[in-house]
Amino acid sequence: MKKFICVLVFLALVNVANAGIVDIVISSLNGEPIQPTKEITILPTDVINFDIVYTLNNGGVQEGSVFLLSKILLVQGPGTLDWSTHTRPTGYWNGDLSSISPDPQNPGSALLDFAATDIGTVPPGIILDHFLLHCDALGDVLLTLVETDRTKAGMSAETDGSDLYPLVSGPGVIVHQGIPEPMTLTLLGLGSLFLARRKK
């Protein structure tokens, strides 16, 4: 019995070692492309765009592609996800079996349910892009991809054309929402005073 359990543990570790990684990167600031990053500090008026990327794990699947993506795009902190402008690379995803919907247990987050059009159609690189984040207040926002039993697809997997392997999540991204510099605050204050006096 102990040998059998050891074999199961070994197989589980091999599967994790073979797993590709799906993660989030910040790719633009105020509509201008930036070097993809995992952490950024922004002002309340800034708009950031981020993408979901798939990378192969060295030593794991060498010719892999995503077969199923079933995750929560979780927003923790004072921010709300906006996926109304998201795009999907052409030919990657089955339109009838793929969707994004609000996560009722995590307001501001989304349930991702995607299935590939066929084996080998979702290669490494950007697999979903142009997600926006609306900042609701000052503070840090953490965005991560989390496995869940509430998504329709049920699991996330990659394939090498014959076998399926688990698709694990990276650490996500952190957005620091900063306070505007003193000159900006002064100008905002003067503008409000001017408007208040004008109304009187």
Is 2.60.40.680 the CATH classification of the domain at 2-192?
A: yes
CA dist 105 and 98 (Å) reads: 20
Between the CA atoms of 144, 147, 149 and 151, what dihedral angle is there, to the nearest 10 degrees?
Answer: 60
Q: What is the pLDDT of residues 161-175, one digit of tens each?
A: 888 888 899 999 999
Per the document, the length of the chain is: 200
In this prediction the pTM is: 0.77
Report pLDDT for 44: 79
Domain chopping of the chain, boundaries: 2-192
Q: What is the DSSP letter of 195?
A: H
Helix (H, G, I), strand (E, B) or coil at 109: coil
Asked if the model's pLDDT at residue 143 lies above 60, the reply is yes
